[in-house]
């Protein structure tokens, strides 16, 4: 083959490919294709009064107007760079603060989960200390904390009950191989508070000694030097170390129970 002809052909075809992709993108109209209703929802957990609760909001609009559901909504394509941003935006809207733990839970989709039609929601799972957002929640009437053991009595919008169940399973599983419950505590906390948080989430007592061993091994915390009077011996106050990732243990707590 003539090398000049080969080069010419190559240059031309590259040019054609680029022109054609350019034109394609310029002419692309996202609204041409039927697409599902896309939303983002948050399952925000918090602890108070020896109970694990989930944040619900009263729906202002159809469908399920007036019903309680998860705080969430549509993606704002100008504001949000990803669904994480959408989740955060909605959480800040409702609680006034950024939760210290936020991870993607799962995406729920289907033809029938929304009466308006085929829909998809990316659910996020978040934890916060109750004290950090209580003033904000108390100031509105469209948001409330539902204790998770009352979930069966409360009818929720869409499949939000099912989504909360998934989030609860995730929280319980992760609590067995990490110290995730610290994200439900105030910035400074005692070991007893961490133990109580863990026990409320797991629904059963754990060995304090096991918790302390993990606490030390995790490398996630530092002593504040302060301590807190609880009526008897003062308890040391700890805080999370800056910029340290969550530690995952290689074994689960409570090996006996379930799988």
Please report how close the Cβ of residue 74 comes to its own copies at its closest, in angstroms.
7
Q: Which residues contact 217 (CB under 8 A, 6 or more apart)?
A: 247, 249
User: Does 225 engage in binding with DNA (CB under 7 A)?
Assistant: no
- Interacting span for DNA (CB under 7 A) from 22-30, 68-76, 144-152, 234-242: 234-242
Residue 239 in tokens: 């805080």
- Are 41 and 123 contacting, i.e. CB atoms less than 8 angstroms apart? yes
Q: How far is CA 115 from the centre of its chain?
A: 25
| Residue of 61, 141, 153, 250 that binds DNA (CB under 7 A) | 250
Q: Which residue number, 54 or 220, has a Cβ lying nearer to DNA?
A: 220
Residue ranges in 142-207 assigned as alpha helix (H): 160-177, 191-202
Contact 132, 50 (CB under 8 A): no
Q: Which of DNA, its own copies, none binds 231 (CB below 5-8 Å, type-dependent)?
A: DNA
Give the nearest distance from C-beta 196 to DNA in angstroms: 9
* The two three-digit tokens of residue 213, written as one number: 């061993």
33 binds, among DNA, its own copies, none (CB under 5 to 8 A by kind): its own copies
Cα–Cα distance measured from residue 112 to residue 130, given in angstroms and rounded to the nearest whole number: 35
Least distance between its own copies and beta carbon 130 (Å):
29
**Which residues in this chain contact its own copies in the complex, by CB under 8 A?**
17, 20-21, 24-25, 28, 30-31, 33-38, 62-63, 65-66, 74-75, 77, 80-84, 104, 106-107, 109-112, 115-118, 120, 122, 247-248, 250-252, 255, 259
Which residues fall within 8 angstroms of residue 194, CB to CB, at 6 or more apart?
A: 179, 181, 182, 185, 211, 215
Nearer to DNA, 1 or 232 (CB): 232
- Determine, following the binding rule CB under 7 A, whether residue 173 of this chain makes contact with DNA: no
* Contact call for residue 236 and DNA (CB under 7 A): yes
Q: How far apart are CA 233 and CA 95, in angstroms?
A: 35
210 makes contact with DNA (CB under 7 A)? yes
The residue (of 118 and 249) whose beta carbon lies closer to DNA is: 249
Distances (CA, A) of 67 to 16, 21, 63, 137: 55, 47, 9, 18
Q: Are 148 and 54 in contact (CB under 8 A)?
A: yes
Binding flag, residue 25, DNA (CB under 7 A): no
Q: How far is the CB of 17 from its own copies (least distance, A)?
A: 7
Number of residues written out for the chain:
259
Binding residues for DNA, per CB under 7 A?
A: 190-192, 206-210, 212-214, 217, 227, 229-236, 249-251, 253-255
């Amino acid at each position: 083959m003539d090398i000049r002809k080969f080069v010419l052909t190559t240059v031309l075809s590259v040019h054609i490919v680029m022109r054609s992709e350019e034109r394609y993108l310029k002419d692309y109209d996202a609204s041409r294709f039927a697409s599902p209703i896309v939303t983002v929802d948050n399952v925000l957990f918090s602890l108070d009064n020896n109970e694990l609760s989930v944040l619900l909001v009263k729906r202002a609009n159809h469908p399920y107007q007036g019903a309680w559901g998860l705080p969430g909504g549509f993606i704002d394509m100008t504001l949000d760079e990803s669904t994480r941003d959408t989740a955060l935006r909605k959480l800040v809207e409702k609680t006034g603060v950024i939760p210290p733990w936020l991870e993607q839970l799962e995406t729920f989709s289907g033809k029938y989960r929304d009466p308006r039609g085929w829909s998809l929601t990316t659910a996020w799972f978040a934890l916060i200390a109750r004290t950090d957002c209580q003033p904000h929640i108390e100031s509105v009437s469209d948001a409330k904390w539902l204790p998770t053991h009352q979930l069966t009595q409360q009818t929720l919008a869409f499949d939000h009950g099912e989504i909360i169940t998934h989030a609860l399973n995730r929280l319980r599983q992760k609590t067995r191989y990490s110290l995730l419950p610290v994200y439900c505590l105030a910035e400074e906390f005692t070991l007893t508070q961490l133990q109580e948080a863990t026990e409320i989430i797991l629904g059963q007592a754990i060995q304090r000694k096991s918790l302390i061993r993990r606490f030390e091994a995790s490398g996630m915390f530092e002593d504040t030097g302060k301590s807190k009077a609880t009526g008897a011996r003062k308890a040391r106050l700890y805080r999370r170390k800056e910029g340290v990732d969550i530690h995952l243990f290689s074994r689960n707590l409570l090996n006996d129970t379930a799988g």
